[in-house]
Amino acid sequence: MSDSPVTGLTPSRRFAAALAGRAPARAAKSAISVATLGGVVALVLLVVIGVLIDQTVLIPPLAASAALVFAAPALPLAQPRSVIGGQLISAVVGFVALAVGGSSTWTAAVAGGLAIGAMAMARAPHSPAAATAVIVVLTQPSTASFLLLLLLATLVLVGVGIVSGRSGKTARYPTYWW
């Protein structure tokens, strides 16, 4: 292929150049270590709590929530309002959708979408929480116990996030509470 008269690069090189250099700089090793340790500690604590009460406390969306809290603590999606509020709002949306539409993948899809809107209306956006609405519809958990365990789990994530955010190695967490 000949070079483009405009840029002097072949189309494949222009494409490669467009992709190059877009990723953010790697965080300091100490920040990565604190974020990793915080995430491991928080998620293991959820497993320990689950074992102690013989209930599942660690659900996949909480691992995604931990990724935000520990790896991107300054983002609005990682703040306590969004982590706790977004997860609880989405769970409630899931329970309402389950009551109206029953347990199906169709209802789960609608619940996930409605959870996005509900979180936006409440100014508590938290992308992992949309999956919580889907899980509620598909697994049909007991409402009261699920909501209480979800509240406990999000408080643990935020609590460990606060401790990690005081290490001096990562961004201070939270940047705002509510």
List pLDDT tens digits, range 45-76. Answer: 999 999 999 999 999 999 999 999 999 999 99
pTM for the model = 0.85
**To the nearest whole number, what is the mean pLDDT of the chain?**
92
Residue 31: which of 62, 64, 72 has the closest Cα? 72
Please name the residues in contact with 2: beta carbons below 8 A apart, sequence gap of 6 or more.
Answer: 10
pLDDT reported for residue 21: 67
Tell me how far apart the alpha carbons of residues 82 and 70 are, in angstroms, rounded to a whole number.
14
pLDDT tens profile 103-145: 999 999 999 999 999 999 999 999 999 999 999 999 999 999 9
Confidence of residue 91 (pLDDT cuts 50, 70, 90): very high
pLDDT reported for residue 7: 57
Which amino acid belongs to residue 85? G
Q: Reply yes or no: is the peptide bond before residue 24 cis, omega within 30 of 0.
A: no
